A and B are shown apart, each in its own frame.
Chain A
Amino acid sequence: MPLFYDARIRAYLYQVIAVGVVLLVAWVMFSTASANLAKQDIATGFGFLARQAGFVITESAITYEPTDTIGRAILVGIANTVKVSLLAALFGTVLGLLVGIGRLSHNPVLSRLMLAYVEALRNVPLLLYLLLWYSLIISVFPPVKQAIEMLPGVFLSNSGLVTPALHWQSGFAALAAALVVGVAAAFVTVRVLGRRRIVTGMERPIALFAATAFLLPLVATLLFANISVAWDVPELGRFRLSGGYHLRPEFVALLLGLTLSVSANVAEIVRAGIQAVSKGQWEAATALGLSRARTLKLVILPQALRIIIPPLTNTYLTVFKNSSLAIAIGYPDLVMVSNTIMNQTGQAIEAIAIFMGVYLGLSILISLVMNWYNARVALRER
């Protein structure tokens, strides 16, 4: 068989075999699945998305009623997943940065305390912590009937925190616009004055100017625009609280668990990144007379950031995927909503395909954004 010993022919042969096996398996699975579904009288396809959902979702980042479509319910799930993972990533990063720096402190008590914090979080499964926080919240706070009224209109009970809600009658758009304009103006001020300082060398209170630029549009809007809001104050009924904004224990437990787990990971990443910056940089900054805090802010962190970004991306991807543990404590994220739909309609393949597709798409989006940022801060070597 001289042909078989030709390296190129063999390469083609291997590839054809590999692709063929994959296609064959896929075809066998597809045909058995469609036969099974036909036998069970389940129609395939995504037509069920337009049907009425008919189930309640306890918490949603966008408006939703049980009379809305199943497609809308899935959107609610996506919004809830994105909301909780964004918040957890944000809080976790800030907390983790502090813990990571504390871990490198010269003070032995602080550094050991931070080490204990990180180890306690990293060596226990996240799911266990979620269940622990959830049952802690449920058991520590009193039932709704004896809800504690902390401030007038603010109730704390084991069904969560209920606060008065704001309903905008008018002027919301103007205020939002003022906020955007203020942020943009502050940003421009910082850039322009920063450049001026580099050129002229003159010290000016940049922070003060920026704060003014930020506040000016807001104050102007508050003074001149017609803003009216209505307060929706919760009332304590016999069995439940009605009205107001409801912060549920499921959401709080999930956010707490995810935030803490992110913070432990971020702390380790920050510590490794800071330690990777060469010691000479510290010594040079000390020789220039910079304090430890300023050295960290001006010299070490900008360099450490380059090392930190790629593992940080992984942490953000992980928290996004870990938010799916919400199903264990009953926060209506994408997986839980899909699971409900699966049980109600029997469209298992489609429901799972949708939520896997969404996770995959958003994962790719997160890594693209973080890679773009990484390319911006990466060291440019000639």
Chain B
Amino acid sequence: MTQVDTLVSNATLAPSREAPPASRSRWLSAYFGTPGNALITILCLGTVFALAKLAIGWLFVDATFVGTPAECKATSGACWPFLSAKMRYIFFGFYPFEEQWRPLTAMLLFLGACLVSMVPKVWGRGLLVAWVAVVLPVLYVLMAGGYFGLTVVPTTQWGGLPLSFMLSFIGLACALPLGIALALARASNLPAIRVLGVGFIEIVRGVPLISILFMATVMLPLFMPNGITIDKLVRAQVAIILFAAAYIAEIVRGGLQAVPKGQVEAGHSLGLHYWQIMRKIVLPQALKKVIPPLVSLFIGFFQDTTLVTIVGLLDFLDTVRTAMRDPQWQGIAVLEGYVFAAVVYFVFSALMGAYSRFLEQYFRTTHD
């Protein structure tokens, strides 16, 4: 090849390099650019199609939509009549049948109140007062009864989704102040208080939630004076609160460490004492920084409340399991309940996850 030839070929190469790739070819190269890439695409699509075929076949094609248990047994697909027959039990457990409008109302009220509280603009003291003074008492009266002519329903008959919501959300709401107190104890200058804080946090974080639930349900009655019994639901709730508080404490500690020391020193120079500095200067900044990880933690705990079924509480997962063990449907609806429960948990968790990402975005774009 002569020098001229090389020059010519370079010259012809140059413009083609600068030409923008057509959008169609870019799209193609993303999926089938190299042989390896094409192979990956084909393998993935194959997997997706195989799974989709399996799922659609079971969920819709071979499924029974209306009918009796016997008709369900005849087909190989999903058995949807099971869900419609057992729906009220799955959602509300052993709550008296005629009174089930009460947990339903309570749940809707609760979800509505949560939805309103999710907007960062309404956060403030007023919202807190509204929850403590209005929403929670109304929820309690609706569930437990005893006032306004509502019949009393003991906690042993509570169950299903309202119970799951209550255990997770009320548990976390109570755990938050405790967790903040523990984080402050851990960051304290006073050695004895620091040791107590560290000891509690590390012990609770080092053991599984089940062991704390066991402790609350099996061991706690032994520590109670004769004649005093605490409701099983309350005991499990206390266990969840203590467990969540230790994890919240570690997250809040991260936030406390992220607040510059100068903020505390500035507070001191203004003559404020410890609690004023913490309440007015440090905590507002620290908590704002840790809101996204806190929401992620909340998702985890919403899922962890399923463990109460192990100590015999009738939460949503447990009502689903009991419904499947019903003699009428046993051996027919083996998976339908679990799939339904998985969808319910997925939807709530994914919504909270999306909310967490929204908060992260919100605090990145607004002040600090």
- A interface residues (Cβ-Cβ under 8 A, vs B): 11, 14-16, 18-19, 22, 29, 32-33, 35-37, 39, 105-110, 113, 119-120, 122-129, 131-132, 135-136, 138-139, 321-322, 324-325, 327-328, 335, 339, 342, 348-349, 352, 355-356, 359-360, 363-364
**Residues of B contacting A16 with CB < 8 Å?**
192
> Is the CB of B133 closer than 8 A to any CB of chain A?
no
Q: Is B272 an interface residue (CB 8 A)?
A: no
Q: Are B206 and A363 in contact (CB under 8 A)?
A: yes
CA distance A16 to B193 in the complex (A): 9
- 16 pairs across A/B with beta carbons < 8 Å? A18-B196, A37-B222, A109-B44, A109-B45, A110-B41, A125-B303, A125-B304, A125-B317, A126-B303, A127-B307, A136-B335, A321-B207, A321-B209, A335-B208, A359-B206, A359-B208
The answer to whether A36 and B338 have CB atoms under 8 Å apart is no
Which of B123-131, B146-154, B281-289, B342-350 is the contact stretch?
B342-350
Per DSSP, are chain A's interface residues mostly helix, strand or loop, or mixed?
A: helix
- A124-B211 contact given A36-B226, A352-B218, A359-B206, CB 8 Å threshold: no
Partner of A107 from the list B40, B203, B310, B338 (CB cut-off 8 Å) is: B40
Interface of B is mostly: helix
Per-position 1/0 for B198-240, Cβ under 8 A of A: 0000010111111100110011001111100000000000000
Chain B residues, Cβ within 8 Å of A119:
350
Most buried by A among B30, B44, B215: B44
CA distance A16 to B196 in the complex (A): 12
Q: Is B309 an interface residue (CB 8 A)?
A: yes
| Closest residue of B by beta carbon distance from A39 | B226
A127 to B211, CA, bound (A): 15
CB of A326 to closest CB in B, whole Å: 10
Q: CB-nearest residue of chain A relative to B302?
A: A125
Do the beta carbons of B223 and A135 come within 8 Å of each other? no
A107 to B30, CA, bound (A): 6
Q: Is the CB of A15 within 8 A of B192?
A: yes
Q: Which residues of A contact B345 (CB under 8 A)?
A: 123-125, 128
Q: CA A126 – CA B31 in complex, angstroms?
A: 34
* Cross-chain contact B309 with A328 (CB below 8 angstroms): yes
Are A109 and B40 in contact, CB atoms less than 8 angstroms apart? Answer: yes
Does A364 lie within 8 Å of B206, measured CB to CB? Answer: yes
Complex: how many Å from CA A11 to CA B190? 7
Q: In the complex the two chains form, is B306's CB within 8 Å of A348's CB?
A: no
Is there contact, CB below 8 Å, between B48 and A124?
Answer: no
Of all chain B residues, the one with the shortest Cβ separation from A111 is B44
Interface positions, chain B 40-75, Cβ under 8 Å from A, are 40-41, 44-45, 47-48
Is B6's beta carbon under 8 Å from chain A? no
B342 A124 Cβ-Cβ under 8 A? yes
A124 touches B218 (CB 8 A): no
Are the CB atoms of B211 and A19 closer together than 8 Å?
Answer: no
Beta-carbon contact of A325 and B210 below 8 Å: yes
How far apart are the CA atoms of A110 and B335 in the complex, in Å? 28
List 11 other contacts, CB 8 Å, given A124-B346, A127-B306, A325-B310: A15-B192, A32-B225, A108-B30, A113-B48, A128-B317, A128-B341, A138-B334, A322-B208, A324-B211, A352-B218, A359-B208
**B346 → chain A, closest Cβ, in Å?**
5
Contacts of B303 in A (CB 8 A): 124-126
Measured CA separation A324–B338 after assembly (Å): 21
Kindly state the separation between the CA atoms of A123 and B298 in the bound complex, as whole angstroms.
Answer: 12
Does B334 contact A139, Cβ atoms closer than 8 Å? yes
- Complex CA gap A364/B206 in Å reads 7
CA distance A15 to B31 in the complex (A): 65
CB of B361 within 8 Å of the partner chain:
no
Chain A residue numbers with a CB within 8 Å of B12 are: none
Is B23's CB within 8 Å of the partner chain A? Answer: no
B189 at the interface (CB under 8 A from A): yes
A135: B residues at CB distance < 8 A: 334-335, 338
Q: Is B96 interfacial (CB-CB < 8 Å)?
A: no
How many whole Å from B347's CB to the nearest CB in chain A?
Answer: 8
Q: Are A105 and B31 in contact (CB under 8 A)?
A: no
Bound together, the chains give a CA A325 to CA B213 distance in angstroms of: 12
The answer on a CB contact under 8 Å between A19 and B196 is yes
Give the complex CA separation of A18 and B306 in angstroms. 34
B137 at the interface (CB under 8 A from A): no
- In the assembled complex, the Cα of A135 lies from the Cα of B339 at a distance in Å of 12
The 7 A-B residue pairs whose C-beta atoms are closest, nearest first, are: A15-B192, A123-B349, A125-B303, A321-B208, A324-B208, A363-B206, A360-B206
